[in-house]
Amino acid sequence: MAAIDISSVGKIYNGGVRAVSDINLDIRDGEFIVLVGPSGCGKSTLLRMVAGLEAISEGKVKIGDRVVNEVEPADRDIAMVFQNYALYPHMSVRQNLEYGLKNRKTPKAEIDERVAEAARMLEIAQYLDRKPRALSGGQRQRVAMGRAIVRKPAVFLFDEPLSNLDAKLRVSMRGEIKRLQRRLGTTSIYVTHDQLEAMTLADRLVVLNGGKIEQVGAPLDVYHTPASTFVASFIGSPAMNLVKGEIHGDRLAIGPGLLSLAGFAPASGAVTVGLRAEDMRLVPAGDNSLPFKVEYAEELGSQRLVHGLIGDQPVTVAVSSEAELASELHLSIDPSRLHFFDAENGKRLAGKAPAATAAPVAGKIQPVA
Amino acid sequence: MAYTTSQPQTGGILSRLGFGARARKPAAQAEEMKRVQFTSPILPYVFLFPQLAVIVIFFYWPSVQALSSSFYIEDPFGFGSTFVGMSNYTDALFSSEYQSIALFTAVFTLLVTFFSLAIGMLLAVKADRIIKGSSTYKTLLIAVYAIAAPVAGLIGMMFFDQHIGTFVKMMSYVGWNMQVGLNYYDTAFAMVVVAVWKQIPYNFIFLLSGLQNVPVSVREAATIDCSSGLRRFWTVTLPLLAPTAFFLLIINVTYALFDTFGLIDVMVKDKPANNPITLVYKVYNDGFRGNDLGGSSAQSVILMIVVFVLTIFQFRFIERRVHYN
């Protein structure tokens, strides 16, 4: 168990390519942190710097109260679960689990005890004498988890551990990882590009983009108050609709539609407006509604995703599967559920609630509670 | 001749390994799917005929010839032959000269195989770790392999030349008066060095590609599990290299036993007697220089049996410990 302190960390590869810049992150003891972002955002690089598999070009990483920049990976008291499991193919499952402990001169009795415990926890006891190649993907993933657990490290590092599994197994393993981490209380950093995995696992989410932190916060805070258009479009499924709008006093114009803001206007002039698909309602034509040209619908069973245009801007709306569809619909939204972003830099403008990381222009007009 | 009998065996090993342990399983499945039905039962044999003919004419026929002539004493001028039973074999096996050459061959094979594999492995591991300028470095090491074998042998020999040899000069500084071609042990030393030197690039290429086939993430997992680099090499990298190493072991033994023929010939051909030679060279010497075809055939049959036993041993006892992915 240990806290992790990442301060001003950056990574510059040979040849001057900058992968990560100026990351500051305080991870509490026992916390489950998920690094999420599109591929190439530097999330894996950051994790690998904590693991010691990549040299740290700038800044400091502290695990517990020890700066580990120059410490060998094996001496950092971490365990890592890799995307392709990285099991030792020539060793049996038991040998895989024992390997890290044997190299640390753990007494034989204790090794046996820990292996037995991990095998029971992960339900892999019956495979202990098999070679990894005789196991299925899900079983290999469990062994990889077991290899981390037996070590009883201060920190677990997960590098997209579920992305090689099929969808159904991914969901069940996700739950299992969360349960195990709760039970063991080990500080964990988890890297994924899957926002759903990030939302469900994280105590705190770290959204990365272009090697920089876009937003840090609890999953629901990030969902409800995304700090930028990037976070807004990345977190949540379907992605938040982002459309161009213009605020005139207390009215918001989107394409041909006009909405009353009821005092929620955070600025005036051109803004980017964020509309969550599930926040919009179908209403009869009239004032205070947005005309919506339907293009096609996707049936999801519990709901229906309708894709179409407001003016010439594409928008997706989630409606109940019973709702009647016509070629032309009208949408309305509670002004408190609108998200406003600066049209230039995409930063959040205070609308509904103050953002977790304050946007530069935020707070000009305080939201009405 | 025994020299040729090694060929089908190594060919078999090559195809068995199939180069790429990874490809094994899909290959097996593909085999199932690719099974072709011929309309005529003779047709497949017609297609196989050229290959079979080559094997029979160049491998089995000479072997049978060697086997049969090993029971005869041939008239040196080709006027006839006399059946002598096993006496060619007993003559060879119980002569002290044959025994000492056999001993030298064993030591020579052991040394050449060990050092060419060990040095090749060391270079491969080091080359694998280089980050800057790695391709230049690797190319330089591999380039030796591109030089034709006789040329390489000649260059190797020049190191040990009595007048211009760099190695001879160097050794004279530490008080070793090397006389390659005159002194038995000096010649043996030079033979081993040149034979090893010629084989290193070959081993290097295979071991380097073997190393690069070890998944990066497995190595990374090992760096998290084990802080000692040497221990990681012995417990993770080397076992994963085992298929490559096993293949090379067989190739290197074969090389040391048979393919060093040309090298030995260059070294001892025009030198006085009392130089070390290997069994294969003795087969050639007795058969083509001494015109003792019967004795030479008996020796090559003995060699065939040795190789046969060695190969069975390698597959039985070593391959069992080899892990294929």
Give the mean model confidence (pLDDT) for residues B85-92.
Answer: 86
- ipTM over the 0.90 cut-off: no
Contact A90/B215, CB-based, under 8 Å? no
Give the mean model confidence (pLDDT) for residues B248-260.
Answer: 89
- Could you tell me if residue B109 is inside a domain? yes
Nearest C-alpha of chain A: how many angstroms from B227? 5
Nearest C-alpha of chain B: how many angstroms from A45? 14
Rounded to whole angstroms, the Cα distance separating B197 from B193 reads: 6
For the CA atoms of B140, A53, A107, A66, what is the dihedral angle to 10 degrees? 130
- Could you tell me if residue B249 is inside a domain? yes
Output the pLDDT for position B33. 54
Output the pLDDT for position B134. 75
* Interval A169-183: pLDDT, tens: 889 889 989 999 999
In chain B, the number of structural domains is 1
Residues sharing a CB contact under 8 Å with residue A164, sequence separation 6 or more, in sequence order = A83, A84, A85, A137, A141
Give the mean model confidence (pLDDT) for residues A300-314.
Answer: 91
Contact A133/B325, CB-based, under 8 Å? yes
Range of the domain at B118: 96-324
Output the pLDDT for position B111. 96
Mean pLDDT of the residues in chain B: 81
Contact B323/A83, CB-based, under 8 Å? no
Using CB atoms, which residue from A51, A86, A100 is nearest to B215? Answer: A86
Contact B218/A86, CB-based, under 8 Å? yes
Contacting residues of B for A75, CB less than 8 Å apart: 227
* Interval A91-122: pLDDT, tens: 999 999 999 999 999 999 999 999 999 999 88
- Could you tell me if residue B287 is inside a domain? yes
* Nearest CA among B220, B223, B249, B221 for reference residue B321: B249
Rounded to whole angstroms, the Cα distance separating B188 from B197 reads: 14
> A254 has which bridge partners?
A257
Domain of B140: which CATH number? 1.10.3720.10
Q: Is the pLDDT of residue A367 over 60?
A: no
Burial call A147-178: b when 16+ CB within 10 Å, e when fewer = bbbbbebbbbbbbbbbebbeeeebeebbebbb
- Could you tell me if residue B27 is inside a domain? no
Give the mean model confidence (pLDDT) for residues A228-256.
Answer: 90
Give the mean model confidence (pLDDT) for residues B84-108.
Answer: 89
Contact B223/A53, CB-based, under 8 Å? yes
Residue A243: count other Cβ atoms within 10 Å of its Cβ: 19
Q: What tokens were used for A4?
A: 């992790």
Distances (CA, A) of B131 to B12, B134, B136, B138, B254: 37, 6, 11, 11, 34
Give residue A82's pLDDT band: very low, low, confident or very high (50, 70, 90).
very high
Residue B273: count other Cβ atoms within 10 Å of its Cβ: 6
Half-sphere exposure of B4 (CA within 13 A, CB side): 14
- Could you tell me if residue B41 is inside a domain? no
* Nearest CA among A130, A132, A124 for reference residue A89: A132
Mean pLDDT of the residues in chain A: 89
CB distance from A100 to chain B under 8 Å? yes
Q: Is the pLDDT of residue B63 over 80?
A: yes
Half-sphere exposure of A274 (CA within 13 A, CB side): 32
- Could you tell me if residue B215 is inside a domain? yes
Output the pLDDT for position B144. 72
- Could you tell me if residue B296 is inside a domain? yes
* Nearest CA among A187, A190, A276, A261 for reference residue A231: A276
Nearest C-alpha of chain A: how many angstroms from B24? 13
Size of interface A-B (CB pairs under 8 A): 64
* Position B137, amino acid: Y
Contact A90/B222, CB-based, under 8 Å? no
- Could you tell me if residue B141 is inside a domain? yes
